[in-house]
Each structure stands twice: as C-alpha cells, then as structure tokens.
Amino acid sequence: MLQYLFAGLALGAIYAIASVALVATYVSSGVFNFALGSMAFTVARFYYFLNTESGWPILPSAVVSLGLFAPALGAVLYWLLFRHLRLRSPLIKVVATIGLSVALPPAVELVFGKLTNVTAPGLAPVPLKVFHPFGAAVNMDQIMTYLGLVVVLVLGIAVLQYTDLGLKVRALVDSEALTSLSGVNPTRVSLGVWAVSTVLTGLAGILLAPTAGLSVEGMTYLMAAAFAAVVAARLNGLATAVAVALAMGVVTTVIQRYLDPESALSAQIVPSIPFAFMLLALLYHAWRRRAGEPPAGGALDRAIRVAGGATGGPAPARRGLADPTLIASGVALLSVAALPLVLPEYWAGLTATGLALAIALLSYTLVTGEGGMIWLCQITFAGMGAVLSAELATYHGWPPLLAVFVGALLIVVVGAVIGLLTIRLGDLYVALVTLTFGLLVQTLLFTRDRFYNFGQGTAMPRPGFAEDTRVFSYLTLGTFLLLALLIVNLRRSTAGMAMRAVRWSEDGARTLGLSVVQMKLLVSALATYTAAVGGGFLAMNSQSSLPDSYNVFSGLVWLAVLVTVGSRSLMAALVAGLSFHLFPGVFQTYLPTGWAEVPVLLFGLGAVMVAKDPDGILAVHARQLRGLLARRGGGLPQPSGRPAQAALASGSPDSAVHQLTGGDR
C-alpha cells in the first residue's frame, strides 16, 4: 500500500507543478492556458533531443532545457500571443490557446523529427536507483519529482512573499493598469511570469515523460489533471490546487491496487480519474454558485478593456443581388458543387468527407458563433451521432438517413442536459465542463467493446441511392444547405435576435422579458442536433462509426480550423470542412512525407490569429472586397449613421447570403 502511496505522491507532485504553472499564468495574465500540454511536450522533447539524441549528460541537458529553452519559449509566446489576450473575451482566449496547442506539436516534430518510441528518461540517471524506506520501493525518478515540487513551492512562496519582484507580481494580479501607473512595467513582469511558468510546465513534462511517455497524448493527460486541480481551486488558489493535485495522484495509483490490471474496466477508470475530479469540483462550485470567473484585472483594467470580439460599428450593408459577398458565395457554392464531378475518385472521396465534416462544424457556428458559448465537445456529439445511427441502422434495420436524423434527436437530450447544467457557469467553466464531458465519453463510452470493435466501430451503410461517392457528396451538400438555411432563418428570426440578446447581456434580456434558460437550451439543442447529424454523415461516408475519429483533441483542431476561417459564417463551415480534408490530402500527395504535419500547424496558427482578428479570414476578405469595391466607385453604402443609411430598407431582413458569409458580424 505504501508503495502505491509513494507512487501516487510522485504523480501528484507532477500534477501539482503543472497546476502551479497554470495558476500563475491565469492569475497574472487572465489566460487559462489550454496549450499547457503542448508546451510541456515541447520542452520535454527538447530535453530528449539534448539528452538522448545528442548524448548530452543529464545536468547540462536539464540546465539548457529548463534554464534557457523553456524561459525563452515562454517569453516568445508571451510576446507573440499571450500579451494580446489579457483583456480579451474568454472565447478568444480559449480559441487562441487551443490554436497554440494545435500548432506547437507539429512545429516541434518538424524541427526535431517524429518519435517512434515514446519511452523517455527523466532527470535521474538510468538505471534508476531504488530505495526502500519503510519497506516500500521508491525510485530515483520519484525522489527527483518530490524534490522538484518542494523546490518549486519553497522558491515560489519566498519570491512571492518576500521579494520586490513578488510584490510586483501580486500587484499585477490585482490590476495591470494600476501597476503600470505605479511605474512598474507590467509587460516585463508578465513576461517573467510566463517564462517561469513555462519552466514549471517543462519540468512537469520532463518528469512525466518516463511514466506517461514522451507524446502529446501523455502530456495532454497531464494538462487534464492540472485543469482538474486548478478548477477545484476555483482557478486561483495555489494551496488548494497543489493539495488536490497530490490527492488526485494518490487516488489514481491507489485505486489500481483494487482493480484487475487486465480488465477493460481498469483501462477506462484510471484515465478518467482527473475528469471525475474536475466534474465533481465543477458541480460543487455550480451548486455553491461560485462558478463565475473572477474578473480579469481591476476596475480600471475593465474600464479600458477592448470589447472582446465585438468590433461594433456599422452593420453590413445590404445590397441584395448586388452584394459582392452574394456573388462570392454563389461562386464558391457552385465551385464546391462542381468538385465531385470534376475531381478523380480519391479527391471526390475527400470532398465528401469534408462536406460531412462541414455539417458537424455548423454546430460550432451555432453554439459559439451565435450563442457565444464555448463548447468543446461538439466532436463528442458527432461521435455519439455516428455511433447511435450506426447502431440503429445495423442492429435495428433502420434506413440510414432515418437513423441519422432520428438518432440525432436522441442525442439532443444529452446536449440539452449539458446546456441546463452549464447555464450558471462562467464561460471558462463551460469550456472545461464540455471538455471534461467529451473526455469522459471518449474514455468510458466510445471504448466499450460493443461500440469500439477493435477500432472499427459499427458498420454504417449509405442509403441505397447514394452508395456512389459522387451521389453521396450531393446528398451531403444538400443536407448542409438545408441546415444552413434553417440557421439563416433562426438568425433572422425573433429567436435569433433573442439568442444574441442573451449572449450579450443576460440581465438586459431578462428584464426585457426573455428567458435566458429557454434561449440557451434552444441553442444547445440545435447545435447538438447539427453535430450529431454531421457525425451520422461522417459515419455514412466511411461506412463505419469509427469511434477513434471522435477524439476530443481532434475536436479542438476542428474548432481551430473553423475559427481560422470564421466562427460566425455558414460558408466558413463549408470552407473549413473541405480544407480540413483536402489540404492535408494535397500535402500527402504532392509534398514530402515530412511535411505531413504542416496543415495542422497552419490550422493552429490560424486559430492563434483569432487574437488579432476574431472574425476569421473569410470575413476579413469580405470586408476587404467591399472596401475595394467602394473605393473603386461601386457606391456601396457606408451605413455608419450617415444619411445614406436612412435609405436602406427599413427593417428589411438581412441578405440571406450575407448571413451565409458571416460578413463582419
């Protein structure tokens, strides 16, 4: 038993170090770092490059990795990204850091090469020395981990409490603006915090690598555990985070003593422990009504903050058929419609997959673009749609299309329950709840033998009339357009206005007589339905449910791609879905194998750019196109309260195509 305890404390110590890094950057810069796992992987991979691949001894490898590389990485990322996020909306912060988490691993693999063997050494010399205190075995790696945590805590407390630098950091936590007025350079302090935090993140990564493997997946598990500890601590309590992290480590190892290591149940329960901790903590905070985010910065910071994501200004001009976005969208739609006809079989197949994905991506357009809710489990609903429709079609003999559309209705219940549970939560907590839900479903449900079937899933036939890939492509495109039209109707309807009202001011909406609960449930249900239908089409496309395809972290890449193109635009969902499959296809077919990860890198970088332009590239180009035409004497109205605006159709519905392109909304 003692041995399990020692091992648990070592695991908990690693979680604790990562939690300290997470809390430090959250309280000092207001950014909850979803890229923690990728950053840990990056530093650990660099250490591996020096120590194992280049043959450096442990000490210089550790000093260079943690003393030079990690702080430099933190400083560069702070300079390029994090400093622009402090007072941005939670949505932009989450998406930008998710973009970073998507972009970093392929960038690292491009530089250092892809690892085939993920076994990696820690900070202790190999072979590991083993000690036997109280009769239980403790190895040198575990002792290094305990020491790591002790050093981090002692140094951290000493610096924060007793040094001038600590005083500046604590001042920055309260208010960047006031700190700045006191003559302290907040940028320099924040940069220092990010540098130190990256050192801690890297340390956690290096310490974890020997047990969890040097892989993005292993580090992702570290990130999930750190998230759980920090959420339990309500995002800012260092002592609680450390205590919960240690407890989580102990529970994770001790529980293994009572589980059969050969059973499938063990394989499902053990990885789920951090998620269970997080879920319990979130439910507790929600029950105590303490799950709103603490405001970032002080009153002065909030007074001067940039409106997150809302560009304001004039609403888009409406020119009916003369609107250049109408023409551009029409051309794009026709081009997409022509693809299955003109492309060879392989590319037509990728097009069909992209179109099916575009349906699933519409769910992000609804829940995030319209509802302003940060849901990270849309891929899970797609997976549930795929699994359920395949079950209904294969085991119950339902026609495939009926199975997809009716099966999705059943998934809606799950989405509505999540919507209800998260109504009182702040944006960041909603993101974490949905991420946790996705991870739990992925670990506990998709891996069930009945659904998993050695990774093949359940067979899912296509409808008899659409067995040909090209016909199936048109069926999928038709479904996309039908759902897009329903969303346009929703946007322009009273419900759409009410939904946006709730998004921007719940108090304003409630005192106007609108029900926040109804509106959030509506958007949750519609988005869940769309995702599940998308999953059903993806399953029909691959003719199997393939539950492995619905990994939550692949969902983050989906989100990154969509946000890069535009989270509010329906056309962006189509472009993003196609890009997601055609773009890598081009790289795989025409470029060297080593470049295979470049598309993912670009998708991630695109999402990082959301910090600069939250509307996405499609809307940016639409704006540029309108501006260009206006400058060239196209006479497009500039509706910013000028007389020309009065001539615009009073109350006329928005151009349907503008809704499709998203414009600058």
CB of 372 to other proteins, least distance (A): 8
Return the SS3 of 138: strand
Nearer to other proteins, 197 or 363 (CB): 363
Beta strands in 352-437 (DSSP E): none
Nearer to other proteins, 283 or 647 (CB): 647
CB of 209 to other proteins, least distance (A): 45
Sign for the CA dihedral angle at 276, 14, 143, 45 comes to positive
Q: Report d(CA 363, CA 349) in Å as an integer.
A: 23
Q: Which residues bind other proteins (CB under 8 A)?
A: 307, 310-315, 488-498, 500-501, 503-505, 507-515, 518, 639-643, 645-646, 648, 650-653, 656, 665
CB of 527 to other proteins, least distance (A): 14
CB of 145 to other proteins, least distance (A): 42
Nearer to other proteins, 276 or 656 (CB): 656
CB of 639 to other proteins, least distance (A): 5
Neighbouring-strand partners of residue 544:
459
- Assigned token pair, 5: 């305890």
436 CB contacts (<8 Å, ≥6 apart)? 224, 228, 275, 278, 279, 282
Q: How many CB atoms lie within 10 A of CB 321?
A: 9
Whether the CB-CB separation of 385 and 535 falls below 8 Å is answered with: yes
**What is the Cβ-side half-sphere exposure of residue 637, based on CA atoms within 13 angstroms?**
20
Whether the CB-CB separation of 198 and 71 falls below 8 Å is answered with: yes
Helix ranges (DSSP H) in 175-292 = 176-181, 186-212, 216-232, 238-257, 264-287
Whether the CB-CB separation of 7 and 253 falls below 8 Å is answered with: yes
Which is nearest to 203 in space by CA: 81, 54, 39? 39
Q: Report d(CA 96, CA 113) in Å as an integer.
A: 25
CB of 381 to other proteins, least distance (A): 20
CB of 516 to other proteins, least distance (A): 8
User: Which H or E run includes 130?
Assistant: strand 130-131
CB of 318 to other proteins, least distance (A): 9
Q: Report d(CA 658, CA 655) in Å as an integer.
A: 5
- Assigned token pair, 260: 């059969």
Nearer to other proteins, 472 or 529 (CB): 529
CB of 323 to other proteins, least distance (A): 15
Nearer to other proteins, 423 or 495 (CB): 495
Nearer to other proteins, 133 or 653 (CB): 653
Nearer to other proteins, 312 or 344 (CB): 312
Q: How many CB atoms lie within 10 A of CB 152?
A: 21
Nearer to other proteins, 52 or 489 (CB): 489
Nearer to other proteins, 315 or 410 (CB): 315
Q: What is the crossing angle of helices 469-492 and 570-590, to 10°?
A: 150
